[in-house]
A and B are shown apart, each in its own frame.
Chain A
Amino acid sequence: MLVEKIMKTDVQTLPPTATIAEALKLLQKHRIRHIPITDAKKQVIGIVSDRDVRDASPSIFSEGSEQEALQNEIQTIMSQPVVSTHPLDFVEEIASIFYDEEFACLPVVSNNRLIGIITEKDMLQTLIQLTGTNLQSSHIEIKAPHKPGILPEVASIFGKRKTNITSVLVYPYDDDPHYKILVFRIQTMNPLPVIEDLREAGYELLWPNDQMGSTS
């Protein structure tokens, strides 16, 4: 999935000369946590987070002269240079940037101009969609040998039962490189026929379908 598919294009920005008070107001009004700072050509020259603004704001216990701090220009506290992303980057890459850099927002820049913004929340929403847990479905996990041709073999069992697959995930099986866990979310309330077919074909089903129960 590409960044341009999930980015927000309605971005709240401020010029570098805006005051900290304006930033505070903007953060509260739109309930956002980051503001890119752009110049007249829409180039991103800095970014401020709600924490930067709060750190620069006077204590709620202080009165009088300290309130002037709010009149300082935003460019005095903005972070730079700014790590940004491109609309054609992948969502997976964004996830590793968030993880490595320990921040939660990236401006999306194309031809040196700000065209969107992507946050940790957008990324999580995408991950939820990738797992398919947001749709009505049943969930089946299979331990399968890690070798070519296994996925279509398993998937054909679902196909034969005309069971629609909502999502497929493949992840490592503990530390054993010879196996993978295949996770299928399927669009049915009755996974029983498929489960029986999978067992019959010799695949190892994982919790909770590995417990035979007392049904027979």
Chain B
Amino acid sequence: MTCTPSFIFSDAYLTYHFNADHPFNQKRVVLAKELLEAANTLEENDIIEPRLATDEELELFHDKAFIQAVKKAGSGQLAEDEGMEYGLGTEDTPMFANMHEASSYLVGGSLNAVDAVLEGNSTHALNLGGGLHHGFKRKASGFCIYNDAAVAIKYIRQKYNAKVLYVDTDAHHGDGVQWAFYEDPNVCTLSIHETGRYLFPGTGHVNERGIKSGHGYSFNIPIDAFTEDASFLQVYESAFREICAYFKPDVIVTQNGADAHAYDPLTHLCATMSIYEKIPVLAHEMAHQYCGGKWIALGGGGYDIWRVVPRAWAQIWNVMKTGQPKQGNIPDAWLRKWQPKAPVTLPQTWHDDPHVVPTIPRKAEITEKNAKFLLTALKYAQTKQS
């Protein structure tokens, strides 16, 4: 299978920067890109620059008033209590200089990814700067200002009239995207995330299935804290395959947050690199089986920016480019450059030693619970198919 994927990137992505103490750090994208260059899978001519999304494009999903507020915040003209209404100036989404432009680049990157794939120039496209799935119509939240995924899907609907399957494997519920298409039967959303019982944002219950004509096109599988590889993959594989068979998408958009790893400081899931090899492999297979290859992958969460995110995200590209995740050793050149700057010991191999996962009490119970939620979530997909 020879695919011609595109990698969306520009240094402008680094301008999406809240402050030095903030866990959301776009240096991850640079680390992943340089890892791929060192591994010789990413070349200069694979790269497409993001563009600045226009106001009109942002308004496909966001309110005018919200966009104006973000612009004002970016030039220091938004009062503190004015910002609160829009979720701007909180601990999670503080204001920063030129935040409108920085956020618009991430959205424009996802739009360029969409155009590359749907105009037929690229089989797949990867925008690691995007995947900001907590952004709401008129509110920033959960480290996200503009919701590039929601804008990109609205754009696909409007410009290409294609049926979109959105698959979100970030450890947090993909709430912003779900609510954006909650009434839309042409956009099917699947989110697999740590249960909202403890974790932000708290939503993503199995019974959130969409409303009106969108009923039956939102799928949520909340998995228990401390879920490990095998159970995660069982849920992911069954859900993705069955929902594809049921919905028959024209294009697949994946949100590839990399925060379900045992090392991730913000979540309680216990996966290893093993899931980040298999997540893109299945997305790739499904895209070819149902969509003639049309697959747009976005970044998302991921807060162990040294040991987890670069490898996890690089594997998406490896799969897009070669059909297979990389194995063996991490290139020396990358380790030599980044180890002196990293506060932790960088991993030496693409794969993880299984011992990175601590011994988890209640493992059998967790697996059983996840399997049960999987069945409940897929109940409708199965009846509609038969």
The reply to whether the CB of B266 lies closer than 8 angstroms to some CB of chain A is: yes
CB distance from B96 to the nearest CB of A (A): 16
Interface 0/1 of B111-145, CB less than 8 Å to A = 00000000000000000000000100000011100
The reply to whether the CB of A213 lies closer than 8 angstroms to some CB of chain B is: yes
Contact yes or no, A162 B91, CB < 8 A: yes
The reply to whether the CB of B211 lies closer than 8 angstroms to some CB of chain A is: no
Contact A208-B202, Cβ < 8 Å, known A139-B197, A190-B92, A213-B270: no
Task: Pick the contact of B202: A185, A192, A209 (CB < 8 A).
Answer: A185
Contact A211-B226, Cβ < 8 Å, known A190-B91, A190-B266, A192-B266: yes
Complex Cα distance, B175 from A192, in Å, reads 21
Task: Pick the contact of A214: B90, B200, B357 (CB < 8 A).
Answer: B357
Interface residue ranges of B79-102 to A (CB < 8 Å): 90-92
Chain A's interface size range is 20 to 34
CB distance from B193 to the nearest CB of A (A): 12
Identify which of A38-46, A47-55, A129-137, A171-179 touches chain B. Answer: A129-137
Contact A136-B270, Cβ < 8 Å, known A161-B91, A189-B143: no
The reply to whether the CB of A188 lies closer than 8 angstroms to some CB of chain B is: yes
Complex Cα distance, B38 from A184, in Å, reads 46
Interface 0/1 of A128-164, CB less than 8 Å to B = 0000010111111000000000000000000001111
Contact yes or no, A138 B198, CB < 8 A: yes
Complex Cα distance, B201 from A191, in Å, reads 12
Interface 0/1 of A176-200, CB less than 8 Å to B = 0000000001011111100000000
The reply to whether the CB of A215 lies closer than 8 angstroms to some CB of chain B is: yes
The reply to whether the CB of B172 lies closer than 8 angstroms to some CB of chain A is: yes
Contact A136-B225, Cβ < 8 Å, known A189-B142, A213-B262: no
Contact A138-B200, Cβ < 8 Å, known A187-B90, A188-B91, A189-B134: yes
Contact yes or no, B23 A190, CB < 8 A: yes
Contact yes or no, A139 B270, CB < 8 A: no
Task: Pick the contact of A136: B91, B201, B268, B358 (CB < 8 A).
Answer: B201
Residues of A within 8 A of B199 (CB): 138-139
The reply to whether the CB of A207 lies closer than 8 angstroms to some CB of chain B is: yes
CB distance from B64 to the nearest CB of A (A): 23
CB distance from A164 to the nearest CB of B (A): 8
Chain B's interface size range is 20 to 34
Residues of A within 8 A of B202 (CB): 133, 135-139, 185
Complex Cα distance, B199 from A140, in Å, reads 9
Contact A215-B265, Cβ < 8 Å, known A139-B202, A187-B90, A208-B225: yes
Chain A residue with Cβ nearest B143: A189
Contact yes or no, B358 A214, CB < 8 A: yes
Residues of B within 8 A of A190 (CB): 23, 91-92, 143, 266
CB distance from B141 to the nearest CB of A (A): 6
Interface of A, helix, strand, loop or mixed by DSSP = loop
The reply to whether the CB of B263 lies closer than 8 angstroms to some CB of chain A is: yes
CB distance from A184 to the nearest CB of B (A): 11
Interface 0/1 of B2-13, CB less than 8 Å to A = 000000000000
Chain A residue with Cβ nearest B93: A189
Contact yes or no, B262 A189, CB < 8 A: no
Complex Cα distance, B225 from A209, in Å, reads 10
Complex Cα distance, B357 from A214, in Å, reads 7
Residues of A within 8 A of B197 (CB): 139
Residues of B within 8 A of A215 (CB): 262-265, 304
Task: Pick the contact of B141: A136, A192, A212 (CB < 8 A).
Answer: A136
Residues of B within 8 A of A207 (CB): 225
Residue among B200, B270, B360 with the highest chain A CB neighbour number at 10 A? B200
Contact A214-B142, Cβ < 8 Å, known A136-B200, A189-B201, A208-B268: no
Closest 9 CB pairs of A and B: A208-B225, A136-B201, A189-B200, A189-B142, A208-B268, A138-B200, A139-B198, A214-B358, A215-B265
* Extra 19 A-B pairs, beta carbons < 8 Å, given A136-B142, A137-B200, A213-B358: A133-B196, A136-B203, A138-B199, A163-B91, A187-B92, A188-B90, A188-B91, A189-B92, A189-B134, A189-B141, A189-B143, A189-B200, A191-B200, A207-B225, A208-B198, A214-B262, A214-B263, A214-B357, A215-B263
Q: Contact residues of A with B, CB < 8 Å?
A: 133, 135-140, 161-164, 185, 187-192, 207-209, 211-215
The 30 listed contacts between A and B (C-beta, < 8 Å) are A133-B202, A136-B134, A136-B175, A136-B200, A136-B201, A136-B202, A137-B202, A138-B198, A139-B198, A140-B198, A161-B91, A163-B91, A185-B202, A187-B90, A188-B92, A189-B134, A189-B200, A189-B201, A191-B266, A192-B23, A192-B266, A207-B225, A208-B226, A209-B198, A209-B268, A214-B262, A214-B263, A214-B358, A215-B262, A215-B264
